Amino acid sequence: MFPCYNMATTMNSSLFENDILLAAKAGFQHIELRKEKLLDYLRRGHSLSELKELLEENQIRPVCINALADISFHKGQARETVEELCHFLCYAGQFVGCRDLEVIAAFGAPTDEREAVTAETAGILSRLGPIAADYGMRLALEYMGVPKCSVRTFDHALEIVDRVDLPNVGLLVDTWHHFAGGSTPEELLQAGAEKIFIVHVGDAPDKAPLTMRRNECIWPGDGAVPITALLRNLKTAGYDHVVSVEVFDPDVQAMKPEQCIPMAYLKTVNAMKEAGVC
């Protein structure tokens, strides 16, 4: 596996291009592009060609765009907007050399009934999957262990992906969300490597499932998440791609990026070494 930098860790403290430069300097060879930062970069007059050149000059590979969120339970123009944004993000990803686009199911869905959520989420992914395939892109569904998200657990996300049954629709496993939603390390063995597209790593305090806030996502190794077991089981399942560090702790978010990004590299590599996956 390979350490990867997720731009969300310096969400408001660093510009898009600065993240790339500092991540490469810190030792990262892979980076996850944040959608909001990408759009800001383009609004400030930069182009996808400039971005591709910047990535190549710094020898850092973009692996995922994070994220196309709240994709389900839309109708009419709202659904068309989701599809149009999928087109754009997949076009941008293909242009700069990304392979994956993270997708997230609805927040505040009109129902919490599992089958209704499964059918709706699988339905929209069945529409978006072929769009992504036209650009050579994959969709990685992230389940989120917070009450407002309609898909909160690994087993539910896997059920949805299995129902879609497209080779370019798989899972994003986030260690924070996995723990926060009450999923276990052993569950990861239920999915083969072909179903797990990308992995996020972050830690959490020892709290009951579905009681944590997103800003309680701390450095890997500093909390109660069984990261070692999770990474080892991912390896056993056949996963051999990036481990992308994503932290929302306000103290981390407030760090100067020149300090934060090297620390992100150190924390990620240490967690990977502890698990024996790098």
Task: Kindly report the CATH number assigned to the domain that includes residue 195.
Answer: 3.20.20.150
CB 95 within 8 A of CB 54: no
List CB contacts of 131: < 8 A, sequence separation 6 or more: 83, 86, 87, 90
Strands 169-174 and 242-245: unpaired
Q: Look at the chain and report how many structural domains it folds into.
A: 1
What pLDDT shows up at residue 193?
Answer: 87
- DSSP label at residue 114: H
List CB contacts of 38: < 8 A, sequence separation 6 or more: 16, 51, 65, 92
Domain that holds residue 206: 2-275
| Each residue's pLDDT tens digit, 215-231 | 999 999 999 999 999 99
- The one-letter code for the residue type at 54 is L
How much is the pTM?
0.97
Arithmetic mean of pLDDT, 239-254: 98
| Each residue's pLDDT tens digit, 52-73 | 999 999 999 999 999 999 999 9
Q: In the chain, what percentage of residues exceed pLDDT 90?
A: 99
pLDDT of residue 192 exceeding 90: no
C-alpha 70/C-alpha 2 separation (Å) is 29
Q: In 3D, which of 264, 274, 140 has the Cα closest to residue 202?
A: 264
